[in-house]
């Protein structure tokens, strides 16, 4: 082959090389300057936000101190502590005088934490939560205090923000006056104004990552079914964002930090941010802005830089390669991505550590769902957890358990595994769209889930994450109402080499609402009876369409799981629940594992008895699917909307 080379091409190539060098120098210079400007701006915005919050808290504390010093109120509260006052009258007086400052809730609390009077009369005589009482320690020492708002563990709204002041009699503190204001009437407004640009926002959050202030993306999060929490949008792992993780790690000592290298936020978008943990308030304050907006000037440099590279590439190829070779190199490769024998057709899911694709086996032409571990999540811990999930799941072959076909590594070293592709909806979606499930169908569904867990327990495996989102109702080759148990990412082997939890620190993994008390007390303590408890909670949800415990805070949920006897399903269900099924659900939800059915086989036997007297027939199954199933010609929408 003859090489075509002349002085003109050489001069052009040298010129473009010089432009390339200048472009790299300019890009780095502008990038460094822009990062420095952003660091200063983010720090200033954070300082302003914290200062505004502290000023607002100072004003609320002063207002509480004034009310506590009011002669009429303080006299009435002192009589109440002596057993002579009228609590309802005192609370009415407090609310009347505090109404101009936005107070809608009031409590009188004795020094031991018992509520003497409250607007919510059912709380009178009960104790405040331990976390709330801990925030009152400055008040019992003679100073006023601010108690941050709390968020429920589900999708409930943030409650009130509280300020508390001491009530004295004869030189000693005899009670605490606590005043509550709706978050959206004052606290939230402090963060609405600090929203730089089109995507920036400031927010407050607690140690579990729950947002305590409004998100500018609240509507989008609602549409995507995301909780208002600083967690990566993933159904497979409960991981907080990088900013929240670092802030919570500083909870014991307080601290602050800047994150100028883009990281995914709670919507999965790359952002930069600054944070500070306020130890006295036990709350984190942060500001974030999308990296694409923060570093927008770099985009134009990147475009120019890319054009220069393309010109150099084109000049080089046109001068040194024959036209036929050049045409072959420039021809666009239209082949799809391939992992082992699987052709990835389209992405159907994404989590913090993995992506899921609809794929097809190259030779068998069989559809499959392929889960691929993301490169940025390929730490030793997550790789080990990912590998253990597929290795232990592959031991299971029951028809009610999702099938694992294959696993391996791709050309770039990415770890993947292939499983059966299912068409249907989760039990969470079933109840959300169509409401509570009749007892016969509930028993039919639970019996199939038992069959899957029966095999797992027989192999010495505990699922540990049974919940409505991890159980699917499918149509498989004409067979309808087929249950598939999914997501063995938290599976534990009860004996052998894999009994240790693969995690850097002991933490609760799973969904607290469906977690047995013993797992909360000791996250590593789990045998088959933990799955039985979770299955009972799923049964309650199916029959009632309600959560087992309705709570305002994560702490309250944990307390109720540990100590509160749950309601019977029959008391909450719109259906007439058979006594045998009602009693079985209640036994599965016993706090003491020894009081529950001792094996999943025992649960299955009881469900068989229920189904003998109340069968879920083939005719009922076909009728339901006929009314709700959409033709497979519409792959984007498999189920119809609920019928009125």
Higher per-residue confidence, 192 vs 170? 170
Mean per-residue pLDDT of the chain: 82
- 3-class DSSP state for residue 413? coil
Compute the average pLDDT of residues 331-352: 73
Rounded CA-CA distance 456/447 in Å is 14
**Whether the predicted pLDDT of 620 surpasses 90:** yes
Instruction: Give the closest residue to 423 by CA, choosing from 641, 637, 640, 643.
Output: 637
Cα torsion 361, 365, 370, 376: sign: positive
Q: Which residues have a Cβ under 8 Å from the Cβ of 356 and sit 6 or more positions away?
A: 347, 348, 349, 350, 369, 370, 371, 372
Judge whether residue 639 has pLDDT over 60: no
| Residues 359, 369 contacting (CB under 8 angstroms) | yes
- The answer to whether the CB of 241 falls within 8 A of the CB of 232 is yes
Tokens of 261: 């290298």
Helix axis angle, 71-81 to 87-98, nearest 10°: 150
Q: Once rounded to an integer, what is the mean pLDDT over residues 366-374?
A: 88
- Judge whether residue 275 has pLDDT over 80: yes
Query: Is a pLDDT exceeding 70 seen at residue 171?
Result: yes
410/339 Cα distance (integer angstroms): 5
Tell me the torsion sign for CA atoms 69, 72, 74, 75.
positive
Indicate if the pLDDT at residue 498 is higher than 60: no
Strand partners, 106: 179
pLDDT at 413 exceeding the cut of 80: no
- Which residue shows structure tokens 């569904």? 445
Instruction: Give yes or no for a contact between 131 and 555, defined as CB atoms under 8 angstroms apart.
Output: yes
Token pair 């559809």 is found at: 367
**Is the model more confident about 325 or about 11?**
11
Residue 502, pLDDT > 60, answer: no
Residue, of 268 and 350, whose pLDDT is higher: 268
Joined together, the tokens standing for residue 22 give 């200048």
Model pTM score: 0.48
| Residue 336: pLDDT over 60 | no
Give which of 489, 512, 505, 257 is closest to 393, Cα–Cα: 489
Return the bridge partners of 426, or none: 472
Name 164's bridge partners.
145, 178
Beta-carbon contacts of 304 under 8 Å, excluding residues fewer than 6 positions away, are 23
Report the share of the chain in percent with pLDDT over 70: 80
**Do residues 520 and 565 touch, judged by C-beta distance below 8 A?**
no
* Residue 147: strand, helix, or coil: strand
Q: How far apart are CA 91 and CA 108, in angstroms?
A: 8
pLDDT band at 104 (very low <50, low <70, confident <90, very high): confident
pLDDT value of position 604 = 95
State both tokens at 217: 């993306």
- Assess contact for 435 and 573: CB atoms under 8 A: no
Which residues are paired to 562 by β-bridges? none
When pLDDT is cut at 50, 70 and 90, the band that residue 577 belongs to is: very high
Of 33-42, 148-157, 160-169, the poorest mean pLDDT is in: 148-157
Which of 140-154, 162-176, 210-224, 305-319 bottoms out in mean pLDDT, i.e. has the lowest?
Answer: 305-319
Contacts 24+ apart (CB under 8 A), 614-620: 614/439, 614/440, 614/443, 614/578, 615/440, 616/438, 616/440, 616/441, 616/443, 616/444, 616/481, 620/440, 620/441
Q: How far apart are CA 21 and CA 312, in angstroms?
A: 12
Averaged pLDDT for residues 264-279: 92
Is 386 in contact with 373 (CB distance < 8 Å)?
yes
Asked whether 505 and 568 are in contact (CB, 8 A), the reply is no
pLDDT of residue 298: 65
Beta sheet of 338-339, edge-to-edge order? 338-339, 342-350, 354-361, 367-373, 415-419, 404-409
**Which domains, ranges and CATH numbers included, belong to the chain?**
1-36+188-334 (no CATH), 70-183 (3.30.450.20), 339-421 (3.30.200.20), 423-644 (1.10.510.10)
Among residues 132, 131, 120, 116, the alpha carbon closest in space to that of 174 is found at 116
Tens of pLDDT along 115-149? 999 988 888 889 998 888 988 999 999 999 998 88
Mean pLDDT score, 374-399: 76
Cα–Cα dist 167/75, whole Å? 9
CB under 8 Å to 300, separation ≥6 — which residues? Answer: none
- CA–CA–CA angle 157, 159, 163 (5° rounding): 155
pLDDT in tens, 432-445: 999 999 999 999 99
pLDDT at 505: 34
The answer on pLDDT for 307 being more than 50 is yes
Q: What pLDDT sits at residue 237?
A: 59
**Where do the DSSP E strands lie in 199-279?**
201-205, 255-264, 270-278
Q: What is the pLDDT of residue 405?
A: 87
Paired tokens of 422: 């299912």
């Amino acid at each position: 082959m003859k090489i075509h080379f002349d002085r003109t091409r050489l001069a052009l190539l040298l010129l473009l090389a010089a432009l390339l060098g200048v472009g790299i120098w300019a890009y780095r210079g502008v990038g460094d300057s822009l990062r420095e400007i952003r660091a200063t701006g983010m720090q200033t915005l954070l300082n302003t936000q914290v200062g505004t919050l502290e000023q607002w808290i100072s004003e609320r504390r002063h207002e509480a101190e004034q009310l506590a010093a009011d002669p009429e109120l303080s006299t009435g509260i002192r009589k109440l502590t002596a057993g002579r006052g009228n609590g309802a009258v005192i609370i009415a007086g407090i609310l009347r005088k505090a109404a101009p400052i936005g107070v809608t809730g009031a409590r009188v609390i004795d020094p031991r934490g018992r509520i003497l009077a409250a607007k919510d009369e059912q709380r009178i005589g009960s104790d405040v939560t331990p976390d709330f009482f801990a925030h009152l320690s400055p008040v019992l020492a003679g100073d006023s205090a601010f108690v941050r708002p709390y968020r429920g563990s589900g999708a409930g709204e943030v409650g009130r923000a509280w300020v508390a002041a001491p009530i004295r009699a004869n030189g000693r503190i005899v009670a605490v006056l606590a005043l509550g204001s709706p978050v959206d009437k004052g606290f939230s407004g402090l963060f609405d104004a600090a929203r730089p640009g089109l995507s920036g926002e400031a927010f407050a959050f607690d140690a579990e990552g729950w947002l305590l202030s409004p998100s500018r993306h609240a509507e989008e999060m609602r549409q995507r079914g995301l909780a208002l929490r600083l967690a990566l949008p993933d159904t497979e792992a409960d991981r907080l964002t990088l900013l929240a993780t670092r802030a919570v790690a500083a909870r014991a000592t307080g601290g602050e930090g800047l994150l100028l290298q883009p990281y995914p936020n709670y919507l999965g978008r790359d952002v930069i941010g600054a944070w500070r943990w306020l130890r006295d308030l036990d709350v984190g304050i942060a500001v974030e802005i999308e990296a694409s907006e923060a570093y927008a000037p770099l985009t134009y440099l990147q475009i120019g830089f890319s054009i220069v590279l393309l010109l150099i590439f084109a000049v080089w190829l046109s001068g040194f390669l024959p036209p036929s070779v050049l045409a072959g190199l420039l021809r666009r490769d239209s082949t799809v991505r391939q992992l082992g024998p699987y052709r990835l057709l389209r992405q159907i899911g994404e989590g913090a550590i993995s992506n899921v694709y609809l794929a097809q086996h190259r030779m068998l032409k069989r559809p499959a769902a392929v889960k691929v571990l993301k490169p940025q999540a390929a730490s030793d811990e997550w790789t080990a957890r990912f590998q253990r999930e597929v290795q232990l799941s592959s031991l299971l072959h029951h028809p009610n358990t999702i099938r694992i076909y294959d696993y391996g590594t791709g050309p770039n070293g990415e770890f993947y595994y292939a499983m059966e592709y299912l068409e249907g909806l989760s039990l969470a979606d079933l109840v959300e769209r169509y409401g509570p499930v009749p007892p016969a169908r509930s028993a039919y569904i639970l019996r199939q889930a038992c069959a899957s867990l029966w095999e797992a327990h027989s192999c010495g495996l505990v699922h540990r994450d049974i919940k409505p989102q991890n159980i699917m109702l499918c149509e498989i080759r004409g067979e309808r109402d087929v249950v598939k148990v999914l997501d063995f990412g938290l599976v534990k082997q009860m004996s052998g080499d894999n009994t240790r939890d693969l995690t850097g620190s002991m933490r609760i993994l799973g969904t607290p609402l469906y977690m047995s008390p013993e797992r909360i007390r000791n996250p590593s303590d789990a045998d088959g009876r933990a799955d039985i408890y979770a299955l009972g909670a799923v049964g309650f949800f199916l029959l009632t369409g309600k959560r087992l415990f309705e709570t305002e805070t994560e702490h309250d949920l944990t307390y109720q799981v540990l100590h509160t006897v749950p309601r019977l399903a029959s008391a909450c269900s719109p259906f007439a629940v058979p006594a045998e099924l009602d009693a079985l659900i209640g036994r599965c939800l016993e706090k003491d594992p020894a009081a529950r059915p001792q094996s999943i086989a025992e649960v299955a036997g009881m469900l068989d008895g229920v189904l003998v007297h109340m069968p879920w027939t083939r005719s009922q199954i076909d009728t339901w699917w006929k009314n709700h199933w959409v033709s497979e010609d519409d792959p984007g929408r498999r189920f119809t909307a609920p019928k009125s």
